[in-house]
Amino acid sequence: MDPSEVEFLAEKEMVTIIPNFSLDKVYLIGGELGPFNPGLPVDVPLWLAINLKQRQKCRIVPPEWMDVEKLEVIREQERKEDTFTPIPSPYYMELTKLLLNHASDNIPKADEIRTLVKDTWDTRIAKLRLSADSFVSQQEVHAKLDNLTLMEINTIGTFFTDSLNNLFKIRANLQPRGESTMSQEY
């Protein structure tokens, strides 16, 4: 998958906004949205929130987990554990990036949040790499990883499966060569 496709899927997540216009309920294929009243918070998908923010029609309320103390706790937990810890949102990386790029004036301490999320991401990717490395070196057949998000899986997904295929081909070629050497010796 392309990272932009993963971002596209992430844009379906709901966030809270405070609009400054009024509009009746909107009926879309995926569900209904609204009604919008100025000053009253309403839940909308991320793609609509970003569009309205760019047109200066709303103010975005940061999600609950996008808070400095909570993210610090998560980061510490991630560093302590060997396995992946559960994280508040399956699309945390995309949400952080989109919200901090377009609505950083609505999010307090935006720079610290960016650093904390990046730290958590780095730790998780490091664990993923370690686990992939041990999977290959110990020639394991089956692995189970909990609490991974789609974006993290996507970073090594295609590469990992392609390289495992190539490894299998190389290993498969090793067997017959063993037999042919025997025949040569003969």
Partner 1 sequence: MFLSDFRKDFFDVIVNQRVALLVASDIDALCACKILQALFHCDHVQYTLIPVSGWQDLETAFLEHKEQFKYFVLINCGANVDLLETLQPEDDSIFFICDTHRPVDVINVYNDSQIKLLIKQDDDLGVPSYDDIFRDDEDDDEEGNEDDSGNESDDGQEPSGKRRKFEGEAVERRIERRRERREWEARRKEILFDYEQYEYHGTSSAIIMFELAWVMSKDSKDMLWWAIVGLTDQWVQDKITNIKYVTDVATLQRHVSRHSHSNEDEENLLSIDCLRISFEFDLRLALYQHWSLYESICNSSYTSSYFKIWSIHGQKKLQEFLADMGLPLKQVKQKFNSMDISIKENLREVIEESSNKFGMKDIRIQTFSVHFGFKNKFLAADIVYAAGALLENTEKEDSKTDNFIKALDCLSRSNLDKLHDGIEKAKKKLIAIQQTVASCICTNLIISQGPFLYCYLMEGSPDVKMFSRPMSLSLLSKCLLKAFICSTKNKRCRLLPLIMAAPLDLEKGTVIVVGIPPESESSDKKNFFGRAFEKAAESTSSRTLHDHFDMSIIELKTEDRSKFLDALITLLS
We find the least distance from the C-beta atom of residue 4 to partner 1, in angstroms, to be 20
We find the least distance from the C-beta atom of residue 114 to partner 1, in angstroms, to be 8
We find the least distance from the C-beta atom of residue 110 to partner 1, in angstroms, to be 4
Tell me the HSE value of 98 on the side-chain side, using a 13 A CA sphere: 27
* Interface stretch with partner 1, choices 89-97, 101-109, 140-148, 162-170 (CB under 8 A): 101-109
89 forms part of the interface with partner 1 (CB under 8 A): no
Q: How far apart are CA 42 and CA 110, in angstroms?
A: 22
**Closer CB to partner 1, residue 105 or residue 133?**
105
Q: How far apart are CA 80 and CA 58, in angstroms?
A: 39
Burial class of residue 177 in the structure, from the number of CB atoms within 10 Å of its CB (0-12 exposed, 13-18 middle, 19+ buried): exposed
Among 16, 20, 115, 154, binds partner 1 (CB under 8 A): 20
Q: Which amino acid is at 57?
A: K
Which residue, among 95, 75, 93, has the nearest Cα to 85 in the 3D structure? 75
Query: What's the DSSP call for residue 23?
Result: B
We find the least distance from the C-beta atom of residue 107 to partner 1, in angstroms, to be 8
Among 14, 42, 100, 145, binds partner 1 (CB under 8 A): 100
Mask: binding to partner 1, 103-132, rule CB under 8 A, as x and -?
Answer: -xx-xxxxx---------------------
We find the least distance from the C-beta atom of residue 111 to partner 1, in angstroms, to be 5
Query: What's the DSSP call for residue 141?
Result: S
Handedness of CA 38, 39, 43, 48 (dihedral sign): positive
Using CB under 8 A, list all residues that contact partner 1: 20, 55-57, 100, 104-105, 107-111
